[in-house]
Amino acid sequence: MALSVRDFLHVQLFLDIPKPTASFSGKTIIITGANSGLGKEAAKHIVALSASKVILACRSVSSGKAAKLEIETALKCRTDVLEVWELDLESDISVKAFANRVNHLPQLDVLINNAGISAEKFSLVYGTERTLGVNVIGTFLLSLLVLPKLRETAKKFNTTPHMTFVGSAMHSTANYPKKFDGDFFTWSCEKENVNLNNQYALSKYIQLLLVNKLASHIDPLPSTTSKESNKIIINSLDPCFCGTTGLFRDVSGGKRIFLKIFNLFSRTPEKGSRLIVGAAAAGRETHGGWLRAGEVRETVEMVRGVEGVERGERVWRDLVGRVEGLGVGVGGLVEG
């Protein structure tokens, strides 16, 4: 369903978002970008819901430690529940080192891919425009590399691990290039091909296409109860528009004025984080699904239609090429 003004106003101004109640007892959770905004608030909820270990994956260790102290002070939890691990999604070396640590954990029950950027100046990461590099390539590189630990946890503890991607309803406003030569990421490395005002929405659109592809590869079965399932739930959600998250901290000029006006309709990061935590504890019916306002919604035509499916196939091939170019064999990770 396309984002309408009526739907936007309902979610932003009138929707009741209850606090999450599902227990995370005995579970290990990773939250990327957890030093501030939605990630930090999600960590607070998950710690309060009895998680055994919550790993705050942060680019800045010092900011992560400050968030850890804030959460511990607020919740009076044990100091061994929260850990701060360095993770820079702009660096494949950092992502690989982080994933290596993850795969030495006794278990991993939930990965929340929350970290993301909206670059205001053109630059390259992973050989493509930076917003796409971080929100798509870096994020999926990490997700693919920790799949073995999620599978191992499912089998060893007979549980259902989750991989949750924090998306955005803005994906439905993205302008996808009609024609381009070569792979999508190579095409996006040329400044003249990039509209920075479109890149965040475009990255979230591409991300959603790839979530659908990853979910179908991990568990292509239509049944939500099949014993043959890999028992990993992969879903994506819109946390609603939340103010003071730091996502658009670098904007200036007219865009900054627009966002200040837009902030009049914003929810708090704490409210948005409730939706994230809910998705990270949701049932099999959300596998491969897109959640908005706490429920699975039909995706827009540009995602579910013939053109969207074709785009998904193409960007998946392009993503696989990029990841394998970094020395990571996607086939073995996806097929288990």
Could you tell me if 199 and 129 are in contact, meaning their C-beta atoms sit under 8 angstroms apart? yes
Please give the full DSSP string across 123-172, using - where no structure is assigned.
-EETTEEHHHIIIIIIHHHHHHHHHHHHHHHHHHHT---EEEEE--GGGG
Active-site residue 176, yes or no? no
Would you call 237 helix, strand, or coil by DSSP? strand
Nearest Cα to Cα of residue 185 among 142, 124, 143, 144: 124
Cβ atoms within 10 Å, residue 265: 14
Cβ atoms within 10 Å, residue 59: 19
Give me the catalytic one of 200, 213, 231, 271: 200
The DSSP bridge partners found for residue 267 are 242
Active-site residue 204, yes or no? yes
Give me the catalytic one of 204, 213, 231, 271: 204
Strands 162-166 and 233-238: parallel
The structure tokens listed for 252 are 């200036």
Would you call 6 helix, strand, or coil by DSSP? helix
Phi and psi at residue 3, to the nearest 5° = -75, 115
Q: Which residues are catalytic?
A: 200, 204
